[in-house]
Amino acid sequence: MPVVLLTGFEPFGGQTVNPSWQAVQRLAAAWDGPAELVTLELPVDFRTAGPALAEAVERSRPDLVVAVGQAGGRPDVTVERVAINVDDARIPDNGGFSPVDEPVVPGGPAAYFATLPVKACVAAMTAAGVPASVSQTAGTFVCNHVFYQVMHELAGRSAGGPLARGGFVHVPFTPEQAAGTRHPSMTLDVITAGLDTIVRTSLTTEADLRVTGGTTH
């Protein structure tokens, strides 16, 4: 049975919850798919998130890694296409650290593309009634840091062995988080349904779709 490592984040930026981890927990509790799900809550911390992820990959030896983070202000579930080798924090992380123009991995490639079937995942979510789109940027905060670390870790472990696939997904605020603001939001049930679709699609789809147009971020 394939193993899927599914990660979310702890709250940050003054929030008391993070829908990325809430949805991961919900999916794990209801999961009945064709894989073993291993879940991990990551710290919103540039210095400790990478080692925590690497340890989980070493322990679980996953066939698929889907990291999930919160992107407050986005209206839909966005599947990220590319991670860049830059840490550039607009706000301090939860450890008070604010790197500026620093590499995620010194000497690493400038960028990694996700190896999830990005457009197929978006098409499957849309068909299931989950608002979704492809995103061309994961930012330069801890989400991008973890996305880059995921792909770097999997690339380093693929030599001479089976190729694990990985990528990153951003989810919106929940209605509770967006209350009293003009931010768009999405219920945890819909977010969880989106993650379920992404995991199932990634497990069963090798070649991505070639689709033009559509909303991107």
| Spatial distance between the Cα atoms of 30 and 81, rounded to a whole number of angstroms | 27
Residue 206: per-residue pLDDT? 85
94, two tokens: 């939860």
Going from the C-alpha of 16 to that of each of 10, 13, 91, 176, 211, the distances in angstroms are 9, 9, 17, 11, 38
Pairing of strands 36-42, 111-113: unpaired
pLDDT digits (tens, 9 = 90+) for 93-111: 999 999 999 999 999 999 9
Domain boundaries, the chain: 3-204
pTM greater than 0.85: yes
Contact between 147 and 167 under an 8 Å Cβ cutoff? The reply is yes
Position 158 pLDDT exceeds 80: no
Q: How confident is the prediction for the chain on average, in pLDDT?
A: 94
CATH for 3-204? Answer: 3.40.630.20
pLDDT digits (tens, 9 = 90+) for 49-94: 999 999 999 999 999 999 999 999 999 999 999 999 999 999 999 9
The residues carrying an active-site annotation are: 80, 143, 170
